[in-house]
Amino acid sequence: MFNTFEELKSFCREQDIKMIDFKMVDLIGRWRHLTIPADRFKEKTLKDGIGFDGSNYGFAPVEKSDMVFIPDIKTAAYDTFVDVPTLSMIGDVYVIGNPHRRFDQDPRAVAVHAEAYMRSTGIADEIRIGPEFEFYVFDHVNYDVKPNISCYSIDAEQAEWNSGGSEHNLGYKVPRKGGYHTTPPMDVTYDLRSRMCMLLEERGVGIKYHHHEVGGPGQLEIEVNFGGLCEMADKTMIVKYVVKNAAFKENKTATFMPKPLYDEAGSGMHVHLHMFKKGKPIFFDENGYSKLSKTALYFIGGVLKHAAALCAFTNPSTNSYKRLVPGYEAPVSICYATANRSAVIRIPDYARAPEEKRFEIRNPDGTCNPYFAYAAILMAGLDGIKNNIDPEKEGYGPYDINLYHLSPAKQKKIKGLPTTLEQALDALEKDHQFLMEGNVFSSKLIEIWIKKKREEASHINKIPNPAEFGYYYDL
């Protein structure tokens, strides 16, 4: 980490850095980048910024699209995936002015403002977030959509569907839904995951562990250490960049799609979180339910109250709702419980020490823009604390039972998550005031998000699905 421009330039001289690469986050949550020769990077750049077309990022209208980004040198790190020695850093988006003004639709700005708002309430001065990253690594993928064709095809050497292959088949295949913690030689991506984790550690992303996940055809998980909200949003982008590029470098392909395979486990991005004030945990109470304080339970109440609207940011793809179905350890019921993976909010039973006491939100997935998703979760939780939303009194639980085994009559009493992206957007349209407290989310940002996501869902829903031919072709 560099604190001054001189420290950064000294590193560039010592490491013979030739290029400086800047990465910005667009509205949807993808990194974009622009690169300049290292000699062109001056201290003046940190004040004036570098101009770019904001309309192509989904931010500004074409007629008023000139914007600048200003690099955050504290995020600078060596990029190991390029041949020319390159230092890469994240840029913050600004509206051109004298001085430049932070752009309120910049995802990173939203995350920064959410943390500032949290501190202004006096409730806590720190939130610590720990995401779990689930993803698939395949050996081959192709897809096509034309007026006369709609298809995709995926292959993974370790998948059980290759058990009858005749070319260089050594017989070790992972059964369908049977990959959890499987070992080599079936776990053919073990070394790749270790290399991914070593690269992440080099980039300042601390690793808790990695393992093979449930999905037989190459579903993997990397869990990272906790950090602040904006910090972990940055690190989420780094994780996705490293995972995808490390796989690509070894002639494999990685995806964070929630449901790339039919009838296999989907990939989520469970978010663990807890809060502190002056270094002391505020989520612990020896006598509370599952040793949670009233503050923690109110936070849970806020998240569950706004769960449907949150899905528009935490599960923002049409594919997200193919994962959020019963039977695959993905939550569908808006409730909370201890050690229960069928609930939206699970309280880990193993985290019992005061400084470890936390809960996880299980519905988010890797298609989210992490800056928006983490900020929205925090805003919902703060709303719950401010308004004393008791999740038990509101009927959200606790449900310390397998919710999938409840009778249909009892299941009807528990509210469910949206089943489509359109339903999540409907909920956000009706319920977004909590996001706008402290000017964290702007009404313009919410309006643009809903519009773009509705257009996306409408386009995808117009495409005939191959399965429809099986159901309807002969009718």
Q: Is residue 374 part of a domain?
A: yes
Indicate which residue of 100, 113, 210, 270 is catalytic: 270
Our answer to whether residue 201 is catalytic in this structure is: no
In the chain the first and final C-alpha atoms are separated, in Å, by 64
Residues 225 and 191 both lie in one domain = yes
**72 φ/ψ angles, rounded to the nearest 5 degrees:** -100, 100
The token pair at 215 is 């999905």
Angle between helices 294-305 and 307-314 (to 10 degrees): 70
Our answer to whether residue 437 is catalytic in this structure is: no
pLDDT at residue 65, as a whole number: 74
Three-state helix/strand/coil letters over 197-221: HHHHHHCCCCEEEEEECCCCCCEEE
pLDDT tens digits, residue range 173-198? 999 998 999 999 999 999 999 999 99
Q: Is residue 431 part of a domain?
A: yes
Q: Is residue 31 part of a domain?
A: yes
pLDDT at residue 63, as a whole number: 56
Indicate which residue of 132, 139, 187, 264 is catalytic: 132
C-beta of residue 23 within 8 angstroms of C-beta of residue 50? no
- Residue 31 sits in which domain range? 5-103
Indicate which residue of 213, 264, 285, 365 is catalytic: 213
pLDDT tens digits, residue range 70-120? 999 999 999 999 999 999 999 999 988 878 889 999 999 999 999 999 999
Indicate which residue of 106, 115, 134, 264 is catalytic: 134
Our answer to whether residue 360 is catalytic in this structure is: yes
Our answer to whether residue 329 is catalytic in this structure is: no
Sign of the C-alpha dihedral computed for residues 431, 432, 438 and 443 taken in this order? negative
Indicate which residue of 39, 43, 53, 455 is catalytic: 53
Our answer to whether residue 43 is catalytic in this structure is: no
Q: Is residue 114 part of a domain?
A: no
Our answer to whether residue 362 is catalytic in this structure is: yes
pLDDT at residue 165, as a whole number: 82
Residues 311 and 208 both lie in one domain = yes
Q: Is residue 111 part of a domain?
A: no
Indicate which residue of 106, 231, 234, 360 is catalytic: 360
Gap between the Cα atoms of 169 and 163, Å rounded: 7
pLDDT at residue 443, as a whole number: 95
- CB-based contacts of 357, cutoff 8 Å, min separation 6: 274, 281, 283, 284, 291, 292, 296, 351
Whole-number Cα distances in Å, 460 to 145, 267, 457: 10, 20, 5
Gap between the Cα atoms of 473 and 470, Å rounded: 6
Residues 376 and 421 both lie in one domain = yes
* CATH number of the CATH domain containing 457: 3.30.590.10
Residues 286 and 147 both lie in one domain = yes
Q: Going residue by residue through the chain, which has 475 residues, state the pLDDT in tens, using 9 for 90 and above.
A: 788 999 999 999 999 999 999 999 999 999 999 999 999 999 999 999 999 888 888 886 655 678 899 999 999 999 999 999 999 999 999 988 878 889 999 999 999 999 999 999 999 999 999 999 999 999 999 999 999 999 999 999 999 998 988 778 888 999 999 899 999 999 999 999 999 999 999 999 999 999 999 999 999 999 999 999 999 999 999 999 999 999 999 999 999 999 999 999 999 999 999 999 999 999 999 999 999 999 999 999 999 999 999 999 999 999 999 999 887 778 888 999 987 777 899 998 888 898 999 999 999 999 999 999 999 999 999 999 999 999 999 999 898 777 767 777 777 778 899 999 999 999 999 999 999 999 999 999 999 999 999 999 999 999 999 999 999 999 9
pLDDT at residue 364, as a whole number: 97
Among 57, 88, 103, the domain boundary falls at 103
The helix/strand/coil state of 244 is helix
pLDDT at residue 58, as a whole number: 85
Q: Total structural domains in the chain?
A: 2
Which run of H or E residues covers position 276?
A: strand 271-277
Gap between the Cα atoms of 108 and 110, Å rounded: 5
Indicate which residue of 221, 231, 234, 383 is catalytic: 221
pLDDT at residue 332, as a whole number: 87
Indicate which residue of 341, 355, 356, 431 is catalytic: 341
Gap between the Cα atoms of 172 and 356, Å rounded: 39
Q: What is the pTM of this model?
A: 0.96
The helix/strand/coil state of 461 is helix
Our answer to whether residue 221 is catalytic in this structure is: yes
Gap between the Cα atoms of 458 and 467, Å rounded: 19
C-beta of residue 15 within 8 angstroms of C-beta of residue 85? yes
